[in-house]
Amino acid sequence: MRVPISARSVALDLLNKVTFEDSYANLVMPSLLEEARLNQRDSALAQELAFSTLRWQLTYDFVLNQVSSRPVDEIDASVLNALRMGCHQLLQMRIPPHAALNETVNLIRAAVGEKAVGFANGVLRRVSEKSFEDWIEIAAAKSKSKTEFLSIQYSHPEWIVRALTQVLNADGLGDDVEFLLAANNEPADVNLVALPGRAQVRDFLALGAKQNQFSPYGFSIDSGNPGEIEEVRFGAVRVQDEGSQLAALALSSFRPVVRAEKWLDMCAGPGGKAALLAANAQISGAQLVANEILPHRAKLVSNALSGFPSVELSIRDGKDFGVSQENQFDRIIVDAPCSGLGALRRRPEARWRKSSEDLKTLTQLQFDLLDSAYKALKPGGLLLYVTCSPHLSETVAIIDKAQRVLGVTLLDLTSHLNAEYFHERLPSNRKTVQLYTSRDNTDCMFMAMLTKEA
């Protein structure tokens, strides 16, 4: 039976694509909305239902386990997605309970038939008997540790709660863990960058946009489709988190650019940082090489840099640069593949796709890429290591190992960013930079500036 096109059916479709096809929610949703041709109000509802259900999945699974006659891991996956979405409507939205219950049951009926209707109806009625706060109190009573309770309360796997607690403790911010967990569950504004030389932020501020706190090229809009902005369609403005902007700006602004410098973006996909680097390279007379090993991501880089014909595109393993192009680049950025724990508010499904076991492979790759980049760096050049993760094993541990094994020299990036962009708001007791969503309203970006002694 064909599911009627509605906000709820679009949301369920997205949840099922994430579950069955490992799709990325933020990439799939635009095409689903375009196909459904929903009005603006229903489009907003579909996005709220889908993204918030993904964020709160663990919490809702706890609730469902309290009321269901079978464990959630034995419930049909499509039915489970609909039940989670029903929980969100009942517990965290201003939708009348009878409407939330009836709409969810009808959605399940249309999607899988009558066989699950009675079960779903009974489960959701029991969910609706208590408020969200009541269920959290039950979680507090049943949890065996603070970590387990925070995991349920804020819908993060326990290993992520432990990792974030550890990094905040290392920064003297141990009391902020709940603020960070809560921030990961708040939808982010749509953040954009006006590429220097191609667009001006002030033009958008006059239309109601908000200037970014730190990036001089960044601004945000509360909602809406950025694709409807003319400058976005023509490539002069790009969707990009402020933390990513600051990473690109850190490399290009750390010291004055000498004309004809050669720059490398070693892991350029999907191309956001590369575009900002390309704009600054064009202004300063530098030459940028944008490299990406994966063909589908390399295509995204090519599209992102279509307005910069002077940029050299490369599709190769970043680990090869150290051997084939030793001492060739004046500035290199290694935006290394990582766990993505720093962007959980933008990529809600990411928290369910990684485990602590994945870090062993990731950290080895991160170090190998950094090793290669260090070999490819000219003596006296600048090497920026970046991850969109605050996890200590992906950040300071990599830099400590690079200093010990490779002999890299760590420069004071904190002082530079404080002087240029942060107005002395970054803690000055460290040379590396760790941004926090809860403190800086950016992704939790880590940055370290390195050099090779001349």
Contacting residues for 437 by C-beta, under 8 A, at least 6 apart: 180, 183, 184, 342, 345, 443, 444
Q: Is 338 one of the annotated active-site residues of the chain? A: no
Q: Which two tokens stand for residue 148?
A: 């387990």
Catalytic residue of the set 87, 267, 338, 388: 388
**Using CA atoms, how far apart are residues 118 and 132, in angstroms rounded to an integer?**
23
Q: Tokens 């960070």 — which residue?
A: 180
Helix (H, G, I), strand (E, B) or coil at 51: helix
Question: Which of 65, 66, 81 has the alpha carbon at shortest distance from 116?
Answer: 81
Length of the chain: 454
405 contacts 374 by C-beta, under 8 angstroms: no
**Using CA atoms, how far apart are residues 333 and 312, in angstroms rounded to an integer?**
15
Q: Which residues are registered as beta bridge partners of 410?
A: 450
CA 105: distance to chain centroid? 33
Question: Which of 279, 275, 277 has the alpha carbon at shortest distance from 304?
Answer: 275
> What is the side-by-side order of every strand in the sheet holding 218-221?
210-211, 218-221, 190-194, 237-239
Contacting residues for 360 by C-beta, under 8 A, at least 6 apart: none
272 contacts 304 by C-beta, under 8 angstroms: yes
* Catalytic residue numbers, as ranges: 388
